[in-house]
Every structure is written in C-alpha cells, then in structure tokens.
Amino acid sequence: MTAYCYILFSAKLNKYYIGSTTDIERRLAEHNRGKEKFTQTGIPWILVYKEVFSELKPARQREFYIKKMKSRLFIEKLISSVG
C-alpha cells in the first residue's frame, strides 16, 4: 500500500500543516472541508510537498520527524529542495 507524508500550506494563516495518509487526495479534500479542527480556519489548504512510502509506518515516522524539528526554515528548505 502506498503512503505519503505531506505538507499543506494556508496562505490565509501563513502556516504549514504536516500529516501522513494512504490517500492524499481524500485527505486534502477532508482538510479543505474543515474536518480537522486545526485546519478549519486555514481553508483553502494547498499541497506543497509530499514524500512517497511503501507503507504507512515510515510515512508517520517521517511526519513525526518533521514535526519534531519545530522549524519553519527546515520545512521551507524541504519544500524548496523539490523544485
């Protein structure tokens, strides 16, 4: 099963959201419908970064690692490394 670690951005809040999922399209739609309390106020969210994994466990580990960095600079370097 394919899994993803992803980063969303809200221009309205000027904030990033980091998550992991096995269905990135469904998850983005849920965030933009206001399903999660944290992401409700930032609609619309756009996908700015994703990493692909063969299963969910390493995707979650990567999510927690990025969150543990607690650094906007780290996140922005990660995003810019894709382009």
**Which amino acid makes up residue 73?**
L
pLDDT given for residue 36 in this prediction:
83
Domain 3-80 CATH class label:
alpha beta
pLDDT given for residue 82 in this prediction:
78
pLDDT given for residue 37 in this prediction:
86
CA 42 from chain centre, in angstroms, equals 13
In the chain, alpha helices (H): 24-32, 37-40, 56-69, 72-80
pLDDT (tens digit, 0 to 9) for every residue of the chain, 83 residues total?
899 999 999 999 999 999 999 999 999 999 999 988 888 999 999 999 999 999 999 999 999 999 999 999 999 999 999 76
